[in-house]
Amino acid sequence: VSGDLGAWTVLIAILAGAVRVSTPFLFVSLGECLTERAGRINLGNEGVLVFGAMAAYVMSYHTGSPWLGVLAAALAGSVLGAAHGLVCSLSRVNDIAMGIAFMLAGTGLAFFLGKPYVQPTAPQLPTFPLGFWSDLPQIRSALEVSPLFFLGIALAFLLAWAFRTTRAGLTLRIVGDSADAARAMGLPIVPIRIAATATGSALAGIGGAFLSLSYPGSWNEGLSSGQGLMAVALVVFARWNPLGCVAVALLFGAAGALGPSLQTAGVTQGYYLF
C-alpha cells in the first residue's frame, strides 16, 4: 500500500511498542510503587497480573462489556493483594517468600479457572485512533492507543502529587520510611500497609486486564512473560517515583518492541538480547 519506509518501520514499531508493551509495566510498577512506599514488597503482583488478565477476559466474555472486565480485574487484584497484606501482617511471615508463593498460586488459579476460556474470544477494549492525520497504515495502526495507557499516565501524575502534597500520601510515606516514627505518632501501620498492598494489586490487576483485553488481546497461558516481576525491578530503577515509573515503563516497552521490529526489518541475529 505504501512505499518502502526502510528504517522508519523500526522507529514506528518501537513507538507503537513503547505505548502498547509499556502499559502493563506501567500499571504494575505504579501499584508496586504504592506498596513499596508503604514498606512492603509484593512479588505476588506477577500472579495478580495473570489472574487479573483471566478475570477481565472472563468478565468481558460473559457480560460483553470490556470495562466491566477491567473492574473485575481490579477487584480480583485487590482481593489477592489484601490476602497478601493480611498474611504478611502476621508476625514472622516473610513478605518476599509469601510474594513468590502468591505468584505461583495466582498464576496457577488463573490457568486453572481460565482453562475453558482459552478458545472463545471476548470483546476488546476500544482504542483512540490518534493516527487519523496520517495516510500511512503503519502509523495509523501504531497510534491506536488504548485509553488505559492514558489512565495509567494520569494515575502516575495523581500518585506523584498525592505522595508529595496530600495528608494520605505523607502518612503512607511515614509508615514506609520509618515504622518507629509512625508508631510514635499513633498511626495504624498494619491497616495502612494492607490497604496499600490491596490498592497496588488492584492496579496490577488492571495491567492484567490490558494484557487480555487490549494487547496482545487474548487469554492464554503464555500471556505474561514475567512482566509482573520485571515491574517490581522497574520500581527500584525508577527510584520509587511514580513519574519515573512512566519513563522506565516506556523505556522497557520500547526495548521489548525493538526485538520483533528488528526482525521485520531483516536483522536476524541477536534480536533475542532484548
Partner 1 sequence: VVTIDPSGVTKIGIIGGNLRAAQLQGLPAARLIVIACVMGGACAGLAGMIDVAAVHGRANGSLAAGYGYVGILIAFLARHNPLAIPPMAFLMGGIAAAGGLLQRRLGLPDATVLVLQGMIFVSILASETLYGRLRWFQPREMGR
Residues in contact with partner 1 by the rule CB under 8 A: 47, 87, 90-94, 97-98, 100-112, 115, 221
Name the residue nearer to partner 1 (CB basis): 89 or 241. Answer: 89
Q: How far is the CB of 64 from partner 1 (least distance, A)?
A: 26
Q: Evaluate whether 86 touches 266 at the Cβ level (below 8 Å).
A: no
Name the residue nearer to partner 1 (CB basis): 97 or 181. Answer: 97
Q: How far is the CB of 114 from partner 1 (least distance, A)?
A: 9
Name the residue nearer to partner 1 (CB basis): 115 or 164. Answer: 115
CB atoms within 10 A of CB 256: 20
Per the listing, cell 512505499 goes with 3
Q: How far is the CB of 154 from partner 1 (least distance, A)?
A: 34
Residue 143: all three cell numbers together:
497510534
Q: Given its phi and psi angles, is residue 145 left (phi above 0), alpha (psi -120 to 50 degrees) or beta?
A: beta
In sequence order, which ranges of the chain are alpha helices (DSSP H)?
7-37, 45-63, 66-89, 95-114, 137-142, 147-165, 167-177, 179-184, 189-213, 227-237, 242-264
Q: How far is the CB of 96 from partner 1 (least distance, A)?
A: 8
Name the residue nearer to partner 1 (CB basis): 27 or 102. Answer: 102
Q: How far is the CB of 47 from partner 1 (least distance, A)?
A: 8
Name the residue nearer to partner 1 (CB basis): 64 or 226. Answer: 226
